[in-house]
Amino acid sequence: MMEREVIEKIKNLYNSGYTIREIAKEMNMSYGKVRNILIREGVKMRNKVPKELIERVVELAKQGYSARKISKELNMNETTVLRILKEHNLGKRVKKMSQEEINQIISMYKEGKSIYEIAKKLNRSTNLVVYYLKKYGIIRESSSTSL
C-alpha cells in the first residue's frame, strides 16, 4: 500500500470505531505512530470517558468516595478517576481526624492492638494510623511497624 492509502485506511478504521491500539496491531505499527498520523490528519479524537461517567465520578467524589473506591464501583482505571478528579479540582483531600479519633488510635496502640486492627476498627488506612502514631511520637520514624 502507498503511504496515502495507509493513512486513509487508518482514518477509516478509526472513524468506524476501532481503537488506536487495534489499528496499530492491524497495521503492524506502533501505537504512537498511528496516533500521530490521526492527529496530523486532523482526525477528531474520541473522548475516551463518556460525559455521563465523568459526571458520576464527580458526583461520587463529592459524596466523599475515594478515587480507589470510585474506580472499583464504576469499574474504571484508578489513574483515569484521579485525572478526572484533578480536572474538576477534586484532587487529593486531606482527611482531618478529630482529636478524639487520634486519642483512640494512641490508646488502642498502647493496649497492644495492631495497626491493621486499629485501621479496620476506625475505617481508616493503615498509613493514616502510622502517620498519627509517628506524629505523636508513639512510634519512631525509622521503626518497622507490624501490621
What string of pLDDT tens digits covers the 147 residues of the chain?
A: 679 999 999 999 988 888 899 999 999 999 999 999 999 999 988 767 888 999 999 999 888 888 899 999 998 888 889 989 998 988 766 567 889 999 999 999 999 999 999 999 998 889 889 989 999 998 865 555 555
Instruction: Name the residue range of residue 18's domain.
Output: 3-40
Orientation angle between helical segments 31-40 and 20-27, nearest 10 degrees: 110
Q: 76 and 109: one domain?
A: no
**Which CATH number covers residue 61?**
1.10.10.60
104 is a domain residue: yes
59 occurs within a structural domain: yes
For residue 47, what pLDDT is reported? Answer: 67
Helices and strands in the chain: count of H runs, count of E runs:
9, 0
Q: Is residue 140 part of a domain?
A: yes
Local structure of 18: helix, strand or coil: coil
**Does some domain include residue 46?**
no
Q: What is the CATH number of the domain that holds 110?
A: 1.10.10
Tell me, yes or no, whether 127 lies in a domain.
yes
Q: Please list, in sequence order, all residues whose beta carbon lies within 8 angstroms of the beta carbon of residue 109, skipping any fewer than 6 positions away.
A: 115, 118, 129, 133, 138, 139
For residue 98 the three cell numbers come to 478529630
Please state, as a whole number, how many other Cβ atoms lie within 10 Å of the Cβ of residue 113.
16
What pLDDT does 63 receive? 86
Confidence at residue 90, expressed as pLDDT on a 0 to 100 scale: 84
Structurally, the chain folds into a number of domains equal to 3
Asked if the structure places residue 45 within a domain, the reply is no
User: Within this chain, do residues 106 and 140 fall inside the same structural domain, yes or no?
Assistant: yes
SS3 content of the chain, % helix, strand, coil (to 5): 60, 0, 40
Same domain, yes or no: 99 and 80: no
Confidence (pLDDT) at 144: 52
Q: CA-based angle 109:115:117, to the nearest 5?
A: 95
